[in-house]
Amino acid sequence: MLIGPDDLQIDSSGPDDGSSPECFRCDGKKVNKKGLPCKKCNGTGKLRNKFFKDLQKILTEEVRKYCTNEYQKLLTRHLE
């Protein structure tokens, strides 16, 4: 996966619907350790650029697949 300039652009598509990942710098608190607005998320508490949204979608889907697969294995093993 290559990161291009368009991936780092801030996505300002309407109101935040909760699908944006939480900022890892300020843990969603909107302020840094010194009490100033977070520079990574611009004080919003959410990362709104395309790269992090795409990364979150990929990780969510992979975890869902893994958990479903493992649950099915455990269930079949339990029923045997």
Examine the pLDDT at 8 and tell me if it is beyond 60. Answer: no
Query: What are the residue ranges spanned by the domains of the chain?
Result: 20-79
67: enclosing H helix or E strand: helix 50-79
What mean pLDDT comes out for the span 38-49?
A: 80
- Overall average pLDDT of the 5-15 stretch: 51
What is the CA angle 45-51-54, rounded to 5? Answer: 95
pLDDT at 60 over 80: yes
